[in-house]
Amino acid sequence: MFCGNCGASNADEFLFCAACGSPLAKPSAQNSATYQSASDPVPSPVVVPKERGNVAQAWADITGSPNWLKRLFLLLIMNCVPVLDLYVKGYSLQWGAQAARGKAEPLAPGVFTKKTLLYGLVPFLLKILAFLGSIVLWAFSVIPIIGVLFTLAGCLLADAFTRLAVMRVGATGRMGSAFDLSELFRVYRKNMGGLVFASAAPVILGGIVVIIVSVVLFALAGIDSYSFMRDVGGHYGYYDYYYDPFDLVFGSVGMVVAFALVGLLSALIQGAVELWTMRAVGYWVSKNAPEWVEQGSDAENPFKAAKAAPVEQAPAE
């Protein structure tokens, strides 16, 4: 502390200057910062990273996995083959269940177990039941505007509930847990909007991609067919002007190819959407129903890697 009268240096506990005897003024807590040296480090503010949403985090997990394009492409090809598409559903359920358990693991190169096909049947069967139950909703679609909106909203809610039931199987490891309706509705009401967004956003984005590519392909096929028929021309018959059937077949090849490409693209996009959606729903379950993971024991959960049993050594004779 420095004296305000003579400028002499004094200890902080002194009340009077040791040189001139003048009273020393104690610095207030508000102005104490002015006595800090310019060389003292100034602590920087702690920046807390913003938590990603379920859909964004699921997509980041896909694109952040090693060789993700290669692994995703293999899954998409398998999704185009009957029976193998069930393996894709089982793989997606396994990976989504890992997110429900709080594990940010990347896409595995091969986690297909003997039960992957069995668990791939879970979303397949539940979606069939959901479709049969939603037939009543489609009856309202005949009502203009309001009926269509009501039907679409009901389908979105039903699809979110179905995916929640599928993820409950993955979290608990028990097939029967998908039909525990009271527990499903209890969790479903916690954050219904977040669950609907997690299950619908990838589907909507995938549908937009399919629509855009389909419009482009059919436009190109239509232009090609029109050009072919214009160049070939028709024939004048006894009664009217007609095209040769052989020319009509070749003129429609472009449309056939376009339909085939759109079907293939839809199957590919569906595989990516399934993987993305189940991962997002898994994150939703980890935040809104963490108790589901605790309900499944290691013996009941087929998605946990089995630990090798310790080998007992024979006693020395």
Max mean pLDDT among 145-149, 201-205, 263-267 falls in: 201-205
Give tens-digit pLDDT for 45-89. 544 446 778 999 999 999 988 888 888 888 888 888 888 888 888
* pTM value surpassing 0.85: no
Tokens at 84, concatenated = 């193998």
Q: What is the CA radius of gyration of the chain?
A: 33
Cβ atoms of 254 and 225 closer than 8 Å: yes
> 34 pLDDT band (50/70/90 cuts)?
very low
Q: What confidence score (pLDDT) does residue 116 get?
A: 77
Q: What average pLDDT is seen over the chain?
A: 74
The span from the CA of 178 to the CA of 175, in Å, is 6
Residue whose tokens read 């986690």? 111
Which of 128-142, 227-241, 261-275 is predicted with the least confidence, judged by mean pLDDT? 227-241
**Helix, strand, or coil (residue 189):** coil
Please determine, for residue 140, whether its predicted confidence score (pLDDT) is greater than 50.
Answer: yes
The span from the CA of 269 to the CA of 252, in Å, is 26
In a 13 Å sphere around the CA of 219, the CA atoms on its Cβ side amount to 6
Task: Kindly state the average pLDDT of the residues 230-253.
Answer: 51
Tokens at 50, concatenated = 């913003």
> 164 pLDDT band (50/70/90 cuts)?
very high
Q: What confidence score (pLDDT) does residue 302 get?
A: 45
Q: Interior CA angle at 69 toward 64 and 71, to 5°? A: 95
Per DSSP, which regions of the chain are E strands?
235-236, 241-242
Please determine, for residue 192, whether its predicted confidence score (pLDDT) is greater than 70.
Answer: yes
The span from the CA of 155 to the CA of 134, in Å, is 7
Please determine, for residue 44, whether its predicted confidence score (pLDDT) is greater than 80.
Answer: no
